[in-house]
Chains A and B, each alone.
Chain A
Amino acid sequence: MSDVKKFLYVNRKQPYGTIYALESLEVVLIGAAFEQDVSLAFVDDGVYQLTKGQDPSGIGMKNFSPTYTALGDYDINKIYVEKESLEARGLTIDDLQHLTWEDEDEDWAEKDSIRVVSASEMAEIMDQQDIVLSF
């Protein structure tokens, strides 16, 4: 199909201090209905969106972090996390949720969705897109 475009959602904010992260997630889920070629990028403070063990009950907000684990169901399985951003924040991939998708072509084999990439690799990924949406 020639009308499939490459979409990249760039996430650069922490999850609860502002509304950007939740807004981005909702746009991603709504946009998934259009069956485009979607990638998600988590850079700078955006890497905090994927941490495991989030519990915002104490600040009176809804915990939307489980929703990231549903992204595989929506055929969103290219989730790029910038290595330098993790390192500057004292985080590793082990601090993040384990996001997976099931490959229908390989008898629903479970595969990892998150790929940790360097800033220069991220720049290449950004360069390959038709449409970039920033949050």
Chain B
Amino acid sequence: MAILHTVNKSPFERDALESCLKHALAGSSVLLFEDGVAAAVDGTAYADQIKGAMENVSLFVLGEDLKARGLGEHKLIDGITVVDYKGFVELAGKNDTVQSWL
């Protein structure tokens, strides 16, 4: 079963991302949005954890939330796919379930 995991909390404030990555099985997708987009930037304290997870799961980030925070796409970890709201909806449609790590 394909699952889309979404994380909208900052990894620096909550353990939502950490818990999500622990529970995301190989082949599933993880979308970062709202305050969660901070984790998509390379060079953060969580970058290694994300890179490790990306060996098994696909990472996505909502471009609108990056832009809002002035975080340019050139700052992202290599291999993370930027999607817009339409892409968010498509991801939700493509997967069997959506699990929100609130």
A and B touch in the complex (CB under 8 A): yes
- Across-interface contacts of A16 in B (CB, < 8 A): 34-35, 65, 68-69
Question: Within A25-80, which residues are at the interface with B (CB < 8 Å)?
Answer: 44-45, 48, 51-59, 61, 65
User: A80 → chain B, closest Cβ, in Å?
Assistant: 18
Closest B residue to A63 by CB, please name it.
B68
Q: Classify chain B: how many residues form its interface, as a range.
A: 20 to 34
Query: With an 8 A cutoff between CB atoms, is B10 at the interface?
Result: yes
Residue-wise, chain B 30-48 has the 8 Å CB interface mask toward A (1 for contact) of 0000110010011111010
Inter-subunit contact B68/A59 (CB<8 Å): yes
Inter-subunit contact B75/A51 (CB<8 Å): no
User: B47 → chain A, closest Cβ, in Å?
Assistant: 7
Bound complex: CA A17 to CA B72 (Å)? 18
User: A104 → chain B, closest Cβ, in Å?
Assistant: 31
Inter-subunit contact B63/A58 (CB<8 Å): yes
A contact residues, total (Cβ < 8 Å): 25
User: B24 → chain A, closest Cβ, in Å?
Assistant: 22
Inter-subunit contact A89/B41 (CB<8 Å): yes
Question: Within B1-42, which residues are at the interface with A (CB < 8 Å)?
Answer: 8-10, 12-13, 34-35, 38, 41-42
Inter-subunit contact A54/B13 (CB<8 Å): no
Q: Can you report 22 residue pairs joining A to B where beta carbons are below 8 Å apart? A: A14-B10, A16-B65, A16-B68, A16-B69, A44-B13, A45-B10, A45-B12, A45-B35, A48-B69, A51-B70, A55-B68, A56-B68, A58-B67, A88-B12, A88-B44, A89-B12, A89-B38, A89-B41, A89-B44, A90-B42, A90-B43, A91-B41
Known: A17-B34, A48-B70, A55-B68. 4 other contacts (CB 8 A): A45-B35, A45-B38, A59-B64, A88-B12
Chain A interface residues (CB < 8 Å from chain B)? 13-18, 44-45, 48, 51-59, 61, 65, 88-91, 95
